[in-house]
Structures are given as C-alpha cells and as structure tokens.
Structure 1
Amino acid sequence: MKIGSFVVSLLLIASIVSAQNAPKENSLLWEISGKGLTRPSYLFGTIHLICPADFLLSDSLKNAVSKTRQLALEIDMDDPGLMGAMTKTMFMADGKTLQGILTEKQYTQLSQFYKDSLGMDIISFGRAKPFMMMGPMFNKILGCEPQSYEISLMGLAVKQKSEVIGLETIEEQMAIFDTIPYNRQAEMLLTMIEKLPETKSEFHDLVELYKKQDLQSLYNLTLKSEFGMDGQDEVMLFQRNQNWIKRIDKIVHEKPTFIAVGAAHLGGEKGVIALLRKDGFKIRAVGR
C-alpha cells in the first residue's frame, strides 16, 4: 500500500511539473536562454497560410530575427533539392490511384468540385497522396490569395545573410502522412468539401485565435478539429515535437537561431515550449 501510494504521489508530482512547463501567456514569440547559451535564440509560432489582411511581421519579430544568425523552419524551404524530394515522396505506393481508392460517386463529386470551384482537373493528381490535394483548396477556404510566414521569414533571413535550415527532412515530414491510410485521407478531403461552410468557420476561428496569440486555445482547437489531426495527434504533433528538442538543443548551441514552426506545436504539456523547459532551457514570452 505504501509503495502504491508513493508511486501515485510521484505520478501526481510529475503531472504538476509538466503542467507548470506548459505556456500560460498569450504570445507567439518566445526567447530561449539558459543551459549554457551565451546569446539567446527565439521560437515563433506560425500559421502556414493566412490572408494578407491578417498577416503581420511585427517590429519585435523583426528585431528577434536580426539578433540571430540562422533560421530554422520545419523543413529547409531554401534547399534546392526540395522540389525533387517532394516529387519522389508525393505519390501513393503500389501504383495506387485516386480513382482506384474512391467510389465512382466520390470521384465524380471530387472532380466536379475541383473543376467548378478551383478550375482544376483532378486527373493531374492521379497518383498523388490525397493530402497533396488540400493545398489548392486553401484559397477557397480562406477566401483570399494566402500569404506565408515561412516565406516572409526566409526573405528576412536572406537579407541578413542568415542560413536557412530544417528541423526535419521532407522525407520525414511526408512519412507522417503515410501513417494515415490513403482512403482515409481521401475521406477527410471529401468531408472538407461536403462541410465547406463549417470548414471555413473553423479556419476563421483558428485565425482569430492566432491573432490573439492564444496558444492554448489554438492547441485545443487543432486537437478536436474533424478536418485536421483525425486522431493522429501522437504522430503528427507530439512525436515530432519530441524529435525536434534534441535538434533544437544542438542548433541553438551552435549559433543564435530563429526557430519558426506551426503554432499548434508550441502549446500544451507535450508542446515544444514545455519540452524545452523540461530539457533545462529558460523560455520567456516576448510578445508577437
């Protein structure tokens, strides 16, 4: 009984410590210090696509970038071999095709939507993994020509001659999608189309939370979304967060680094901020 009580107490203490490491402040920009660093690095939560009217590169963000000597994104978007690597990993295995994994009715529905709403023929996606088809839909969902924080940050890095690196390879990132069966990926795509008003509403809510810099609510919405994680949060979020910590530890000790990853990766007890704190770093909110 005493041993059992002791174990329960340890688990409770571990849970409390873990919760204390999770970020509580509303902020997208964080300073990384401690653990022997002579100069701080910075961590920023992005939203991969956003309308220009909602896009902001603040003075505090630009100032943080100027204090660093390299930019770390989820993948190295400056790599000249990126497109070639994407081409190799974008197709379904075993010769499977979109038409082969969908019913005739589903294929017709998808084909009609892309033709009428996006002006595209889905024949060009023939063997592509269904997730690859979500990209062209974002203009329709957002109602604008979206802007990218990653590309804008790369522009700032190039101006100050900072190196651009990735926390993972495109092969590692694409392998994540392979954990979700192709037919399930296609069903998620069809759900987004069938529930387009709800999809638009959810993305609007996501953008509003992002503008408020509310990491915890962004994290919660991402986990419960029927258009996103689909129960794959362990692989698509938590496991990647854990993989990044050793890589972040290494690069920030090499040179001051501005790290930019999707904002959903920052919040929660298994988020990058909590994991870095657990690893011995001091993480301080700077504000966007």
Structure 2
Amino acid sequence: MTGYVLKRLAYMVLTMLVIISLTFVITKSLPGTPYQNAQKLTESQIEALNEQYGLNDPMPVQYVRYLGNIFQGKLGISFQYDGRDVTTIIANKLPVSAQLGLESMIVGVFFGILLGAIAALRQGTSLDYGTTLFAVLGISVPSFIFGQLLQYLFGLKWDLLPVAYWESWQHHVMPVISLAVFMIALIARYMRTELVEVLNADYITTAKAKGLKKSTVIAKHSIRNALIPIVTIVGPATASIVTGSLVIEQIFAIPGIGDTFVEAIFTNDYPVIMGTTILFAALFIFAIFVTDMVYGIIDPRIRLGGGD
C-alpha cells in the first residue's frame, strides 16, 4: 500500500510538471499583449513594459523563472488587476467556486444514487424508463444549456428565482442544479446498472432465503455493494464540475475563479490564466488520488498496486 501511494504521488508530480509546461507554452503563444489599453500604447512603451516584466527574455529563461516561482508558492503578478498577486486573487475567489462545486457534488451524488436505486428497484416501470431518459439527456446536454433554460423558466417566465449573482440561498439553486445535472445523470445510470446486477447475485438470493427482511437485504447488502463502483466515477466526474463552473459562473454572474479565468483569457492576463489552470489541474489530480484511496478502503478485497 505504501509503495502504491508513493508511486501515485510521483505520477501526480510528473503530471503537474507536464501540465505547467504545456500551459506555459500555450499561454505565451497567445497573440496580443496583456496590457490594459494596449492600443493606446506606443511601441516603445510596450517594449519598456516587456522589459520590466521579463517578457523580452528567451522562452526557456522565462520558463525556468516561472517554475522556480511556483516552487516558492508564487504565481506571478496580474497585468489586469492593478498589479495584484495572482495567489491573492485566487484566494479571494476560491471560496465562492469551492462552495458552488461542493454543493453541486452533494446534490449530484445524493440524487444520482437515489434515482439509480429507484430505477433498479422498479425495473420495467415508468420510473425506470423516465430515469433512463433523464440520464441520456443529462449526459448529452451541456450544463450551460440547462442553466440558460432554468434562467428562462424560473427566472424570467415564472419569476421564482433570481437569474444572477451569488447572495442568498435562492441565488444558489439554479447554478447548483445546472452543474449537478450531469453528475446526477451519470451516477444514476451507473447505480441502476450495478444494483440490477447485485440484486441478481447469488448472495442476495441466499440472504432472502435466510428470511431477512427485504429492506435489510436492499440497504445492507444490495445498495452497499452497488455503491463500490460508483466511487470510481466520482473523481472523473469532478472534471465536469470544474470545467462546467467556468461557463456557469459567467452565465449567472458568480464572482468565482471561473469568471476570473474567462476574463483573463479575453485580456491575455498570462499569470492569471496559468495560475488558475494549475489550480484546476491540481484539484482534479488530487480528486482522482483520493478516489483511488477511498476505493481501496471501502473494498478491502482490492490490492492496490498489484500487491503493495
């Protein structure tokens, strides 16, 4: 187990280095300049600014300098936010995005398991077919489409919920649902498939033959074992929450990291783009790592790392 954990940590570090390198090269290749009102600046002024921020240095020199700053916990200085430190900008925006993501994860996992279990226990009924249809739509339709549909129906047409901002709990409803729909659909689909298979397993038949109550068989034996494979998809599904929040925060005018990231792309704010990308990548890689660890804990039969 220890060897497996160390190996995974090494892979995580290597993956982050690759992501940092690719992000640096791609970001530096973007056309234009990162300065405000660049069209009003003369060539000599732009040249002086490039010299000040080290943008005239060769690409390898800039890369080594940036990598060294990252190891010191420094993500650079923003060009658009009045010279503010990128780490500070992210720290101020992170709580809102974290709250949005956490609420969406909770809603997605809870209702995904619930709908999947209902569909499996009511095979061949309208509930089963309805859940399957919802799963197909939820996986196929992007989150921002659901967001705009909710805004139109519940915000504009029926005037039940606010269409934007992040203030009271009412402001949370539509953004959270928009992000959670994909996870609900994905987990419901997997939960139904796994639970149907478990219900037909021999040990379930044996448990019923022993005279155990149906509720006991379902809760302690069926659903519990069906949940094990679900854990493996929670990590990758986190990616949909992270990437989906970039657009959702724009649609609902939520002052989170996603909104900052999109704005930085339009303004060529290199440090903010790279810092935010590194944060998203680190969170996603860590989520995958935690998922693997939890998977091994809840199912002791699994020997992580081929016997380590």
Q: Give the TM-score range, shorter chain.
A: under 0.3
State the TM-score, normalized to the length of structure 1. Answer: 0.27
In terms of fraction of residues, the more strand-rich structure is: 1
State the TM-score, normalized to the length of structure 2. Answer: 0.26
